[in-house]
Amino acid sequence: MKTTGLGTDVSRTALVRRARKVVRVLGVVHPDARCELDFTTPLELLVATVLSAQSTDVRVNQVTPSLFAAYPDALAYARADAAEVEEIIRPKGFQRAKARSLVGIGQALVERHDGDVPARLEDLVRLPGVGRKTANVVLGDAFGVPGLTVDTHLGRLARRLGWTAEEDPVRAETEIGALFERKDLTLVSHRLIFHGRRVCHARRPACGACAVARWCPSSGVGEQDPDVARTLVRGEIVDPEA
Mark whether 48 and 138 lie in a shared domain: yes
- Compute the Cα dihedral for 32, 35, 38, 44 and give only its sign: negative
Number of folded domains that form the chain: 2
Q: How many residues does the chain have?
A: 242
Mark whether 126 and 203 lie in a shared domain: no
pLDDT number for residue 38:
97
- Out of 133, 141, 168, 184, pick the active-site residue: 133
- Asked if 151 is an active-site residue, the reply is yes
The average pLDDT across 60-65 equals 95
- Of 1-10, 14-23, 55-64, 157-166, least confident by mean pLDDT is 1-10
pLDDT number for residue 6:
41
Residue 2, H or E segment: strand 2-3
Q: What is the pTM of this model?
A: 0.90
- Compute the Cα dihedral for 139, 143, 146, 150 and give only its sign: positive
Domain termination site, one of 121, 142, 163: 142
Long-range Cβ pairs for the range 149-152 (8 Å, 24+): 149/186, 149/189, 149/193, 150/176, 151/193, 152/196, 152/202
Rg (CA), the chain: 19
The average pLDDT across 42-70 equals 95
The average pLDDT across 213-234 equals 95
**Residue 185's domain spans which residues?**
2-31+149-232
pLDDT number for residue 3:
41
Mark whether 135 and 53 lie in a shared domain: yes
- Burial of 184: CB neighbours in 10 Å, binned 0-12, 13-18, 19+: middle
Distance CA 233, CA 228 (A): 9
Distance CA 225, CA 216 (A): 16
- Asked if 183 is an active-site residue, the reply is no
Which residue in 223, 195, 187, 193 sits closest to 211, CA to CA? 195
Beta-bridge mates of residue 10: 2
Mark whether 154 and 171 lie in a shared domain: yes
Is residue 111 one of the residues assigned to a domain?
Answer: yes
- Out of 92, 98, 141, 151, pick the active-site residue: 151
Confidence check: pLDDT of 162 > 50 = yes
CB neighbourhood size of 166 (10 A): 18
The share of the chain scoring above pLDDT 90, in percent, equals 86
Mark whether 56 and 83 lie in a shared domain: yes
Distance CA 66, CA 75 (A): 17
Mark whether 168 and 223 lie in a shared domain: yes
Q: How confident is the model at residue 90 (pLDDT cuts 50, 70, 90)?
A: confident
Mark whether 109 and 55 lie in a shared domain: yes
